[in-house]
A and B are shown apart, each in its own frame.
Chain A
Amino acid sequence: MTSYILRRMLQLVFVLWGGATILFLLFFILPGSPAELIAGGGHKAVDPQVVKNIEHQLGIDRPIYVQYVKFLDRTVHGDLGESYLTHQKVTTIIKERAPLSLRLAFWAIVVEVVIGISSGVLSARRRNSLADTVTTVVAVVASAVPVFVLGYLIKQVTGVYAYQHQWPSWARFPPLGFGPNTWYLGIIPSRLQLKSLLQPALVLASVSTAILARITRTSMLETLRMDHVRTARAKGLKESVVIRKHVLRNAMLPVITILGIDFGTAVGAAVLTETVFNLRGLGYRIVTASAQRDVPIVLGLSLVVMFVYGIASVMVDVGYALLDPRIRLRDSDA
């Protein structure tokens, strides 16, 4: 298993390289130069000489392969360059932004696991009951409502309306920002922090939680029909033990896959949630930097997101192997 994980890590390096290369090339294919934007252009004409000077300053007037090799060289040495516009070091930006994104994603996944799996289990066990119908309807609605609609709605109710109408303090949540940035062990929020964390985490988790609930339900129902569950009952085990040990565990395999993907998405693609609650996370910064053609920021931050995806996918594979002994992680599988 250890050698498998090492192999996968090595693989990840190539994935990052490939991903960064594609992004790098994309910026050359797309029309519009960052220099023009910096010179104040875009819509109005600017002096071509100014643009040329800026291009020279940024080093983007050189042939693409020279730039590419330079990019690879400094990246390998841990230098992700600096922003074309603000001249801030990209590593500094990552240090600023990544903790917020990772914490938000982590707690969104916690919400997803707790609510998604438990409601999926509930509706599978009480199939066609009121509880099943309710979770089904809620899940369909939650996955159909766009994140920004849900986000603004929640914010309006608990973040704005609650203050305007003097709701009890436990029902009021700060509508913007990520709070005081007080964490225990880097990940456990303080009480005050929790107030700011709860809304964005719920909103970010909404769609994936709904999908996970449906997948858990289907997977449970499939497993419940299996012969080994009948065996477990025939052995005289209590129903709760049958469900926990012989249904839930076997039903978790597809759920784990989804969770891995969702974590990567929650880190890198939380833009909508971040926008609604005015959070300065990785996704938000990637989007603004893309619009400004701020290539070093996009490349650097994307590398971080890809890295998180890669790690999550290795963890999924390891989780698979732990859950199902039929899956053996051999080097040949890598």
Chain B
Amino acid sequence: MSDVPPLLEIAELTVGFRTDDGVVQAVRGFDLQVDAGEIVAIVGESGSGKSVSAMSILQLLPPSATIEGAVTWAGENLLEVGENRIGQVRGDEVAMIFQDPLSALNPVYRIGYQITEMIHAHRKVSGRQARERAIEMLRLVGIPQPDRRVDQYPHEFSGGMRQRAMIAMALSCDPQLIIADEPTTALDVTVQAQVLELLVDLCHRLNTAVILITHDLGVVAGMADRVTVMYAGRVVESGVVDDIFDRTAHPYTAGLLASLPRLDGDVDEPLMPIAGQPPSMLDPPPGCSFHPRCPWAKEEAGCMTVVPENIERNPGHFSACHRADELMATESLVRIATGAP
């Protein structure tokens, strides 16, 4: 990577939630760098801490969360800035797109109002200018008749349209970074690809960086520049897409990849799930959190006792596995995923 400081740098982010049963350790030392215009995917199962990490960037977590670490944005640690400054960053410099556009939009306000409200929060413009900007943005995301649609309510939009409107809103103040938290999970399969392509395409054109949070590695393959795989609140592997897909260096990543249905595979071939359940974050397993489910876990390697460090195995390709060297010497993905010799 270059000498230019990254757009966003998250270091040693740790997030816990106080509950009646104890502290849920949602994120345990998360690192991420995003350069300008880059598309970075965070992949992991539900509960792996990916959404929580993203929410903490803009201080959007509830007060019950305790956050440590640093989120460096434009030379400042966003975790420590005051209400006014974070208000400036939110929406204007860093915008967010959420999972379910129906619940993420306020049902009682018109789409146009919800967009202009954000423009007014950050720009000194007239009502007419803000409205024109909103229409322009709706046109940009491919909503037909935007000058009419701007006055409609969210329930009058289809699911895909709503998410397009969310994208329009997110882009309306020209942010440098968009955090998209599973932006297509709540949508019909048929429109998922359309919406995602639209987002990625627009961000490429506008040179907006994207943090794309998803549990679908298939989505990542075609869209992202780099991928970070999370498990149980930690990064287990990160690198460019080709590293992750072709030179997989963590059994969890291999498990995710092997569980994908393939278009070119045998139809009768059963899908390969990862056995077991993600651990409880109230009391995560010692050592490598993945070891109870890992076919490669070995006492002698320290899997059960020592937390593996996330080490750079090849330039830009990090893996947190005690047996990464052995994995990287293994050709077959299925063999990595199953641990078969």
Closest partner residue, chain B, to A253 (CB atom): B108
A70 on the B face (CB < 8 A): no
CA A235 to CA B304, docked complex, whole Å: 44
Inter-chain contact A230/B92, CB cutoff 8 Å = no
**Stretch of A102-110, A112-120, A321-329 contacting B (4+ beta carbons < 8 Å):** A321-329
Inter-chain contact A236/B107, CB cutoff 8 Å = no
Closest partner residue, chain B, to A232 (CB atom): B106
B122 on the A face (CB < 8 A): yes
Q: Which residues does chain A contribute within 8 Å of B122, judged by CB atoms?
A: 236
Contacts A234-B95, A234-B96, A326-B153 given: A228-B104 contact, CB under 8 Å? yes
Interface residues on B, range: 20 to 34
CA A153 to CA B104, docked complex, whole Å: 49
CA A221 to CA B84, docked complex, whole Å: 24
How far, in Å, is A76 (CB) from chain B's closest CB?
A: 42
CA A4 to CA B223, docked complex, whole Å: 51
Residue in B98, B106, B110 whose CB lies within 8 Å of A246: B106
Q: Which residues does chain B contribute within 8 Å of A325, judged by CB atoms?
A: 107-108, 110, 153, 155
Q: Which residues does chain A contribute within 8 Å of B155, judged by CB atoms?
A: 325-326
CA A117 to CA B87, docked complex, whole Å: 28
Inter-chain contact A235/B117, CB cutoff 8 Å = yes
Inter-chain contact B83/A239, CB cutoff 8 Å = yes
Inter-chain contact B108/A236, CB cutoff 8 Å = no
B118 on the A face (CB < 8 A): yes
Q: Which residues does chain A contribute within 8 Å of B89, judged by CB atoms?
A: 236
A44 on the B face (CB < 8 A): no
Residue in A226, A228, A234, A237 whose CB lies within 8 Å of B60: A234
Q: Which residues does chain B contribute within 8 Å of A326, judged by CB atoms?
A: 107-108, 153, 155
CA A237 to CA B120, docked complex, whole Å: 9
A250 on the B face (CB < 8 A): yes
Contacts A235-B118, A236-B89, A236-B122 given: A324-B108 contact, CB under 8 Å? yes
CA A237 to CA B118, docked complex, whole Å: 7
Query: How would residues 224 to 259 of chain A score, 1 for a CB under 8 Å from any chain B CB and 0 otherwise?
Result: 001110111111111101000110011000000000
Closest partner residue, chain A, to B86 (CB atom): A236
How far, in Å, is A303 (CB) from chain B's closest CB?
A: 37
Which residues of B approach A to under 8 Å, CB–CB? 58, 60, 83, 87-92, 95-96, 98, 100, 103-110, 117-118, 121-122, 153, 155, 169
List 13 contacting pairs A-B, 8 Å CB cutoff, sorted by A: A227-B104, A228-B104, A228-B106, A231-B105, A234-B90, A234-B98, A235-B90, A235-B95, A235-B169, A237-B87, A237-B118, A323-B108, A325-B153
Given A233-B90, A234-B91, output 11 extra A-B contacts at Cβ < 8 Å: A228-B103, A228-B104, A230-B98, A231-B104, A235-B117, A235-B169, A236-B89, A236-B121, A237-B91, A237-B117, A325-B153
